[in-house]
């Protein structure tokens, strides 16, 4: 796979980047790429007493970093002009190694930039970098597989779009752009979780339902209306897709200022949710607040909750409502399956081009706008051809 080919020959100042996520970890990796100086050599004392620039390639070497207090590290030279330092994963050790290296003449960059600098020789480095970045943000094997499947796809498409413009095939161009833009939402959620917001009257069991779905007590459950006062979120995975579940304050008219602001935030979260869910307590007789919510959010998925108790609604909910008891843990997989079905109605075909970032989506959108609005298409071939090449 060409994603991480490393042609690290560069005449620029050497760069230093941290390749492990920020925060505490067991081990961190700091990488240097470029012609490093004698001053870098002096920072590492190998246990085998060999100088850094004399260490064999692709071999792990234990040693000590810096002056007192020294840091135990493992170092690996992976090419003539690059090495990795594996150190303790706490902030202090990483910061210390990075500042020693910047003082020794390395330029601090982020890892995608270092990767891009090392791969500048490749024509399509911009696309590959976007895929590498997206891949680092994927949280499930399923989403990672879709991102990896995009390698090489975008550059082929750009060549095709370029040809369509050159030959003035506007209808075909428009159709191609439409079929790409169709998957933008799917592509965005390969790195960002889908938002599922649970709302309903107080005490209907929203927090209990979230806890049952994730399998632990994330949200406080109490037999008293108005327990949840703010939006409480938790991330989980349904069928390999990343999901952010939001628990909200129960919806009712309230004089309490704190509760009212929680209710307003709940409505805000509901209005931007990818999948709004209304929870109805069917063990209680229907109330006007329930009907108002059902009327206000007609697109919401409806959960008939507390089905372990006698049903007081007697078939007044739509037939596609999902019947759940959080107490007895019934109906939970039906609910998660239905949520996934609503979020992802259809999977892209295997050969689809999927915009992975907002940036890519905006570029395709802008291109489609240019094709749609131009009054004189004859001139478009001249104006758009460089646009396609330079804007991707
Ligand atoms: N019988 C039964 N009781 C349930 C079920 N789910 C929740 N409850 C009970 O309903 C009460 C309220 O539950 P919560 O989960 O706190 O309800 P909520 O909708 O989050 O309430 P607010 O945060 O106040 O809006 C608690 O006493 C729960 O034990 C269920 O499936 N069956
Ligand atoms: Mg609650």
Would residue 102 count as lying in a domain?
A: yes
Of residues 93, 48, 44, the one with CA closest to residue 65: 44
Domain co-membership, 139 together with 226: no
| Best probe residue, ligand 1, of 208, 249, 324 (max atoms within 8 Å of C-beta) | 208
Nearest CA to ligand 1 atom 8: 205
* pLDDT value, residue 129: 78
Closest ligand, as measured to the CA of 222: 1
Would the pLDDT of 4 be above 60? no
Domain co-membership, 131 together with 104: no
Would the pLDDT of 1 be above 60? no
Q: Which of 118, 152, 171 is the last residue of a domain?
A: 118
Containing structural domain, residue 179: 125-183+350-391
Domain co-membership, 295 together with 311: yes
Q: Which of 74, 103, 118 is the last residue of a domain?
A: 118
Would residue 260 count as lying in a domain?
A: yes
Closest ligand, as measured to the CA of 200: 1
Domain co-membership, 270 together with 312: yes
Ligand 1 atom closest to residue 208's alpha carbon, by position in its atom list: 15
* pLDDT value, residue 5: 38
* pLDDT value, residue 196: 98
**What is the per-residue burial (b if ≥16 Cβ within 10 Å, else e) of 348-376?**
beeebbbbbbeebbebbbebbeebeeeee
Distance 194 CA to ligand 1 centre (A): 25
Mapped onto helix, strand or coil, the DSSP state of residue 37 is coil
Would residue 188 count as lying in a domain?
A: no
Would the pLDDT of 48 be above 70? yes
Mean pLDDT, the chain, as a whole number?
88
345 vs 39: CA distance, rounded Å: 57
Of residues 92, 93, 98, the one with CA closest to residue 114: 98
Count of domains observed in the chain: 3
| Best probe residue, ligand 1, of 200, 222, 246, 329 (max atoms within 8 Å of C-beta) | 222
Q: Report helix, strand and coil shares of the chain as percent, to nearest 5.
A: 40, 20, 40
* Average pLDDT estimate for 232-256: 90
Domain co-membership, 330 together with 358: no
Distance 115 CA to ligand 2 centre (A): 46
CATH number at residue 226: 3.40.50.300
Mapped onto helix, strand or coil, the DSSP state of residue 277 is strand
CATH number at residue 71: 3.30.1360.120
Q: Which of 29-43, 100-114, 123-137, 181-195 has the highest mean pLDDT?
A: 181-195
Domain co-membership, 44 together with 175: no
* pLDDT value, residue 254: 65
Q: Which of 118, 147, 169 is the last residue of a domain?
A: 118
13 against 190, higher pLDDT = 190
Would the pLDDT of 233 be above 60? yes
* Structure token digits, residue 225: 């209306």
Domain co-membership, 113 together with 175: no
Would the pLDDT of 164 be above 90? no
Calculate what percentage of the chain has a pLDDT beyond 90. 59
* Average pLDDT estimate for 260-266: 84
Of the ranges 118-127, 214-223, 234-243, which one carries the lowest mean pLDDT score? Answer: 118-127
Residues framing ligand 1 (Cβ under 6 A): 202-208, 221-223, 225-228, 250, 305-306, 308-309, 325-327
């Amino acid at each position: 796979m060409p994603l991480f080919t490393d042609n690290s020959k560069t005449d620029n100042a050497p760069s230093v980047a941290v390749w492990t996520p920020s925060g505490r970890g067991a081990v961190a990796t700091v990488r240097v790429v470029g012609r490093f100086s004698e001053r870098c050599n002096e920072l590492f004392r190998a246990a085998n007493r060999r100088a850094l620039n004399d260490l064999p390639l692709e071999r792990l070497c234990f040693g000590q970093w810096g002056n007192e207090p020294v840091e135990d590290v493992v170092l690996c030279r992976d090419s003539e002009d690059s090495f990795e330092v594996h150190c303790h994963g706490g902030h202090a050790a990483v910061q210390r190694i990075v500042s020693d290296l910047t003082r020794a003449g390395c330029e601090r960059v982020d890892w995608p930039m270092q990767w891009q600098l090392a791969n500048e020789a490749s024509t399509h480095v911009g696309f590959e970098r976007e895929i590498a970045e997206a891949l680092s943000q994927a949280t499930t094997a399923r989403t990672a597989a879709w991102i990896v499947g995009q390698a090489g796809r975008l550059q082929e498409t750009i060549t095709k779009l370029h040809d369509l413009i050159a030959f003035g095939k506007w209808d075909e161009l428009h159709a191609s752009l439409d079929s790409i833009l169709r998957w933008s939402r799917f592509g965005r959620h390969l790195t960002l979780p889908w938002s599922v917001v649970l709302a309903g009257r107080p005490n209907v069991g929203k927090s209990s339902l979230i806890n049952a779905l994730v399998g632990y007590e994330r949200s406080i459950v109490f037999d008293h209306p108005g327990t949840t006062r703010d939006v409480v979120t938790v991330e989980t995975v349904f069928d390999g897709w990343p999901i952010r579940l939001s628990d909200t304050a129960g919806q009712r008219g309230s004089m309490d200022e704190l509760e009212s602001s929680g209710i307003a935030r709940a409505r805000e979260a509901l209005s931007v949710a990818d999948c709004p869910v209304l929870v109805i307590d069917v063990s209680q007789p229907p109330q006007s607040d329930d009907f108002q919510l059902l009327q206000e959010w007609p697109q919401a998925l409806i959960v008939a909750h507390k089905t372990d108790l006698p049903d007081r609604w007697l078939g007044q909910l739509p037939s596609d409502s999902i019947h759940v008891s959080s107490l007895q843990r019934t109906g939970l997989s039906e609910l998660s399956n239905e949520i996934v079905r609503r979020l992802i109605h259809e999977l892209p075909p295997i050969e689809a081009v999927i915009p992975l970032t907002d940036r890519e989506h905006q570029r395709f959108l802008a291109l489609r706008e240019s094709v749609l609005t131009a009054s004189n298409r004859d001139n478009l071939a001249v104006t758009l051809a460089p646009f396609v090449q330079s804007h991707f």
